[in-house]
Copies of this chain bind each other. A is one copy, B any other.
Amino acid sequence: MYSGPVNTRERLVESAQELLWERGYVGTSPKAILERAGVGQGSMYHHFAGKSALALAAIRRTAEGMRESAEECLSGPGTAYDRVAAYLLRERRVLRGCPIGRMAQDRDVVHSAELRQPLDEMFGWLRGRIAEVLTEGQRRGELAAALDPAATAAAVAAVVQGGYVLARAADDPAPFDAAVHGVLALLAAQVTPAPASTPGTPAAG
């Protein structure tokens, strides 16, 4: 039973978000969206020019949500390593996959400049934000100076997206968890050993 917003436009967008996540762009028909939203066909074509316009609204909203939840982890407390770990280890319904990464596999989405833009912005922001966190860690002396923040950030983001792929292929979240722990262990080796809380003041005499 539908239990979302009363507003028709909202219901359409939310239904589209869910269906795009489950079935992708090609696999999602306007009819299926309407049925899930519980509205007639006329309502959709009143609020949106067509399938792609509705999909654009849905993708934008999903990307914004992802950005917010990622920022929550990455701006949290602790060291740079802690914050990246918080992002990598945050609870996910792994087998559902990433609603934005999913779109990147869809021909119609990638071939449309308009539909691809939210994906590009979202992942561009994500890589940049992780790189910022890593750079900050280097400035604070938490992370090895030799680390390339941009490349490492791309690797971190890629592990998440690739983890979803491996997990779905296996129908088991285990490969996702293994990949995340693998990259975290590699990153942990870049953490500067035993920094004194006050530089120049060894902890024990």
Contact = CB atoms under 8 A, between A and B. Distances in A.
Of A98, A154, A156, A176, chain B has the most CB atoms within 10 Å of the CB of A154
Interface stretch (A38-46, A77-85, A157-165, A194-202): A157-165
What's the number of copies of this chain in the assembled complex?
2
A202 to B, nearest CB: 25
Contacts of A205: none
A155 B171 contact: no
A70 B191 CA distance: 32
Contacts of A160: 158, 162
B165 A110 contact: no
Given A154-B179, A182-B154, A171 B110 contact: yes
Contacts of A98: 165
Contact of A106 (B24, B124, B154, B182): B24
A195 to B, nearest CB: 18
A107 B195 CA distance: 48
Contacts of A176: 158
A82 to B, nearest CB: 18
Given A105-B105, A189-B189, A182 B169 contact: no
Contacts of A26: 23-24, 26-27
Contacts of A97: 105
B154 A166 contact: yes
A127 B166 contact: yes
Given A163-B158, A179-B155, A104 B186 contact: no
A152 B182 contact: yes
A118 to B, nearest CB: 9
A170 B23 CA distance: 22
Interface of A: 22-24, 26-27, 97-98, 100-108, 110, 116, 119-120, 122-124, 127, 144, 147-148, 150-163, 165-166, 168-171, 175-176, 178-183, 185-187, 189-190
